[in-house]
Amino acid sequence: MIQEFLKVPASTLWLAASQTIYMVCFSLLAGTVLGMALALVMVLTRPYGLLANRPIFFVVSSAVNIVRSVPFIILLVAIMPFTKFVVGTRIGTTAALVPLIVNIAPYLARLFENSILEVSEGIIEAAKSMGATTWQTIWHFLLPEARASLVLSVTTGTIGLLGSTAMAGVIGAGGVGNLAINYGYERLNMPLMAVTVLILVVAVQLIQTFGNIAAQKLRHLS
Amino acid sequence: MEEIIRFENVDKIFQNRKMSVTACKNIDLTVNKGDIFGVLGYSGAGKSTLIRMINALEKPTAGKVVVRGRPISELTGRELRLARKDIAMIFQQFNLLNSRTVFQNAAMPLVLNHVPKAEIKRRVDEILDFVELTDKAEAYSAKLSGGQMQRVGIARALTTNPSILLCDEPTSALDPKTQDSILGLLQKINRELAVTVVIITHQVGIVQKICNKAAVMENGRVVETGEVRAIFAKPRHPITKVFVDAVIDTSIPRLVLAEAQAARGAQRIVSVRVLGGNVCDTFVPDLAARFPVEVKTLSLSVNEIQEDVLSVFNLQLIGPEEETQKVLSYLGTRYDYEEIGADWSL
C-alpha cells in the first residue's frame, strides 16, 4: 500500500534511510572528535587561555572560519581530490563522509568552543589553585562543567548534518534528501516529497527533544 | 614566631596595549605560622591581586613572594603545581563544580593527586564530618544554600591537609547568620588543624571577629599593618579609621554633644580608646581621683576585639585649663585619645 502511494519500492526507501543514518552517525562521530580537538586547541591557545599562543590560535581559528565560509555544495566537489586520496573514490555514500566531516568538524569546533568558554573563570582559577595540570583542568573541570552545553551543541550539529546529507546526493551518496530531489521533485511525485519532508521534520524534532532532555539531566538542577 | 608568607617589595602592574593599572605597589608583608591574617580594603584596593600572588595565580611585576621559604613567584611548571597543593583557596562565589556532588567536589584535589579510591572515601568522609555536611554528601550544588556551598569549598580546600588557606571574600555572598558560622569554621580550622589563614575582605567585622593580624590596603598600597588589637585601639590611617569606625561606635549623640558644648566654663571633650580588660566602672573614677577635674561620661562603647576589651569613652572634662591639660598629657602617654569639638568656644 505504501508502495502504491509513494510509487517507489520499499527497498528504495529503506536504502535511502540507512544511507542517511550511516552518513549522519559516522560523520557525527568523527566530526565530534575532530571538532573537540580543534575546540580545545582554540580554548587553550586563545589570548589569556591556559596555554595562550597567538600564532597557533590564529592559524586554527582562521582555518575554522575559512572552511565554514565555503558552502557545503561547493565543498563537496572542491575537495574531491582529497576525498579520493582518503577513501579511494570520489563518489558514493562513503565518499560523502569526507566532505561531511570536513564540513561539520569546524562547525562543531565553534559550538564546542563557545560551550567550554561558558565555564566560569572561577572554575579555572579553582583548578589552578589546586595545582591541576592543563589536562586535568580540561578533563576534571572544563568538560564536566560544559557537558550539558556540549550535548546541545552536538544536537545542533546533528541537525545541521542531516541537512547537509541531502546535498551529498550530488556525488551519488543517496539518502533521504536525495530521494526527495530525484523522485519527489524531478518526477513531480508530491506524495513522496511530502512524506520525506515529514520524516525529516519528525527526525529533527526527535533529535532536538532528546538533546534537550539529556542536557537537562546533566545539569543537575532538580 | 615562624614566618610562613613574606612579600618582599612586591609590585604588580597589569598592562595591555591601551593602559597599565598598578594593582599592588611596594608591598612588604609578613604572615606568621598560625596567624589568621586579614587584608582589609575596598574593592579595587588591590587585595584580590595580593592574595592571588600567594599561590602565584598572579605573578609580581617586581619583587618576590616567599612561601615556606621558597620563592613561589619564581616557580614554574611542576614545581609550582606541587607548591600550590599546600596552599588551598576558597572563593566568594565558591567555584564548585555544578556537575559533581558534594562528595565529588570535596574529593577533587585528591583525585588530581591520584590518591586511591578507598583512601579518598576515608578522607572525604572525615572532612565532610568536620564541616558538618555528611548528610549532603550525595547532593548537587543546586540543592545547597550559600553557606553549605562555602562549607563544600572549605572541605575541598582542606582534603589535602594544606598548611595555608587563602580566603577570597569568603562570606561576602552570605547572609549575616551564615557568615558567623563560616567564620567560626575558619577559626576552628586555624586552631584545630593548625592552618594559617589569610582572608581578604571589605567587611571589617570579619577582621574584628577572627583575625589576629591585619593589613589595610588602599590604592594598591598597604597603608597600615599589625596586630588587630593595636589597629583597632589606635587606627592611624584615615581609611583605617573609616573601617574601624564602622564597627566600633565612637560617636557622641548630637544632642548630648550640643548640651555638653553649651555648658559654661572651661572644658574639653575627648574621646579615649582604652584597650585591655573591662574598665567601664573604674576608668572615670580613677581619672577623677588623680586630677582636680570633673569628669563626665557623655557616651561609652564597649567592644570585644581578639578576646580583649576595647572601650571608647567620650568624656567631658570640666576644670581649669591647666588641669585639663594635665589630664590630656596623662591620657596621651597611656591611651589613644582625640579631642572633639575643640572649637566649642568659637
Q: Does A52 touch chain B (CB under 8 A)?
A: no
Asked if residues B171 and B203 have their Cβ atoms less than 8 Å apart, the reply is yes
Q: Does A90 touch chain B (CB under 8 A)?
A: no
Nearest CA in chain B to A47: B16
CA dihedral angle for residue B316, residue B317, residue B319, residue B321, rounded to 10 degrees: -110
A43: pLDDT strictly greater than 90:
yes
Structural domains of chain A ordered from first start: 8-119+132-221 (1.10.3720.10)
B200 conformational bin, left if phi > 0, alpha if psi -120 to 50, beta if neither: beta
Q: Does A47 touch chain B (CB under 8 A)?
A: no
Testing the interface with B: which of A121, A129, A138, A222 to mutate, by most B Cβ within 10 A? A129
Which residues from A are below 8 Å from B87, CB to CB? 129
Short-list A162, A156, A160, A154, CA closest to A24: A162
Establish how many alpha carbons lie within 13 A of residue A194's alpha carbon, considering only the half-sphere containing its beta carbon: 6
Testing the interface with A: which of B112, B113, B164, B166 to mutate, by most A Cβ within 10 A? B112
The pLDDT value recorded for residue A7 is 79
Query: How far apart are the two ends of chain A, measured CA to CA in Å?
Result: 47
Instruction: Please name the member of B85, B87, B98 whose beta carbon is closest to the beta carbon of A220.
Output: B98
Tell me the per-residue pLDDT of B154-166, one tens digit each, with 9 for 90 and over. 999 999 999 999 9
| Percent helix, percent strand, percent coil in chain A, to nearest 5 | 85, 0, 15
Short-list B130, B84, B53, CA closest to A133: B84
Nearest CA in chain A to B94: A122
Instruction: Please name the member of A140, A220, A222 whose beta carbon is closest to the beta carbon of B108.
Output: A140
Selected residue with higher pLDDT from B280 and A73: A73
A125 pLDDT tier (thresholds 50, 70, 90):
very high
A118: pLDDT strictly greater than 50:
yes
Cα angle: A31, vertex A104, A217; to 5 degrees: 65
**Rounded CA gap, A71 and A83, in Å?**
17
pTM of the model: 0.86
Instruction: Please name the member of B57, B93, B99 whose beta carbon is closest to the beta carbon of A128.
Output: B57
Asked if residues B253 and B296 have their Cβ atoms less than 8 Å apart, the reply is no
B296: pLDDT strictly greater than 60:
yes
**Rounded CA gap, A138 and A116, in Å?**
9
CA distance B223 to chain A (A): 28
Selected residue with higher pLDDT from A209 and B327: A209
The pLDDT value recorded for residue B341 is 64
Nearest CA in chain B to A125: B57
Q: Does A70 touch chain B (CB under 8 A)?
A: no
- Collapsing DSSP states into helix, strand and coil, what is residue A71? coil
Asked if residues B293 and B327 have their Cβ atoms less than 8 Å apart, the reply is yes
With a CB cutoff of 8 Å and minimum separation 6, the contacts of B227 are: B212, B213, B306
Could you give the ipTM of this predicted complex? 0.84
**Rounded CA gap, B132 and B92, in Å?**
20
Burial group, residue B251, by CB count within 10 angstroms (0-12, 13-18, 19+): middle
DSSP-derived secondary structure for B24-63: EEEEEEEEETT-EEEEE--TTSSHHHHHHHHTTSS--SEE
Interface of A with B in 145-164 (CB under 8 A): 145, 147-148
Nearest CA in chain B to A218: B99
Nearest CA in chain A to B160: A130
Short-list B93, B190, B115, CA closest to B159: B115
Give how far the C-alpha of residue A81 lies from the chain's centroid of Cα atoms, to the nearest Å: 22
Tell me what the pLDDT averaged over chain A comes to: 90
B278: pLDDT strictly greater than 90:
no
Q: Which three cell numbers stand for residue B331?
A: 591620657
Inter-chain touch A130–B85, beta carbons under 8 Å: yes
Inter-chain touch B112–A140, beta carbons under 8 Å: yes
CA distance B220 to chain A (A): 22
Tell me what the pLDDT averaged over chain B comes to: 88
Q: Which amino acid belongs to residue B105?
A: N
Instruction: Please name the member of B80, B99, B108 whose beta carbon is closest to the beta carbon of A130.
Output: B108
Nearest CA in chain B to A148: B99
Short-list A99, A87, A94, A104, CA closest to A172: A94
Inter-chain touch B84–A123, beta carbons under 8 Å: no
Testing the interface with A: which of B108, B111, B161 to mutate, by most A Cβ within 10 A? B108
| pLDDT mean over B229-243 | 88
**Rounded CA gap, B159 and B163, in Å?**
11
**Rounded CA gap, B271 and B259, in Å?**
16
Short-list B31, B18, B165, B162, CA closest to B91: B165
Instruction: Please name the member of B97, B112, B142 whose beta carbon is closest to the beta carbon of A144.
Output: B97
Helices marked H in B138-282 — which ranges?
146-158, 176-192, 204-210, 228-233, 238-247, 254-262
Q: Does A1 touch chain B (CB under 8 A)?
A: no
Host H or E run for residue A85: helix A80-87
Q: What percentage of chain A carries pLDDT values higher than 90? A: 60
